[in-house]
Amino acid sequence: MWVEANTNNRIKDLVNPSTLTPATAAVLVNAIFFKGNWQSPFHELSTRDRDFFVTLNKRVSIPMMHQTDRFKYGDINELDAKLLEMSYEEGETSFVVVLPKQYDGIESLIEKLKDPEAFPKARSNMYTADVHVSLPKFKIETTTDLQAVLKKVSITERIVRSL
């Protein structure tokens, strides 16, 4: 498949064949592959298994990346959370972590973040500081039902004629 070949097999099975019908005249595909390099990279030797608290009473041992550097940081009382912004190498994108202060505070934090002004306000209160960062090693993948997306944007008939 073209998408697999052009993302070094990092994006696979982008389109579920069952979502395509003979009446489909065109398939719209937006293949997004992002592998950012941190502006301040984690070193492999600083990654080791540590406890990660899933809830107040449940923890799992997983690989955690560690480093200390200068990052944008905020201790936001209105959210009862801490924010950390880590920039990627090219400087145009960043990764923002919003961490509840309490092990069992995720549900409350999610409710507070439903206010559309909460996150921008919290980010405006961040400042640059020396921060010791411990993050779980992670990978994010997602799948989108193209049929639902196309219906939502009202594309129901042929949109491209034979060239």
Distance in angstroms (rounded) separating the CA atoms of residues 139 and 134: 16
What is the per-residue pLDDT across 61-105, written as a single tens digit (0 to 9) for each? 999 999 999 999 999 999 999 999 999 988 888 999 999 999 889
Contacts of 3 (CB under 8 A, 6+ apart): 11, 12, 14, 29, 31
5-59 pLDDT per residue, tens: 655 665 566 556 565 554 444 444 555 556 778 899 999 999 999 998 888 888 8
Contact by Cβ (8 Å): 63, 115: no
pLDDT of res. 84: 97
Structure confidence by residue, pLDDT tens digits, 109-144: 999 999 999 999 999 999 999 999 999 988 777 776
**Domain locations along the chain:** 44-136
Correct CATH for 44-136 of 2.30.39.10, 3.30.1490.190, 3.30.450.20, 3.40.50.720: 2.30.39.10
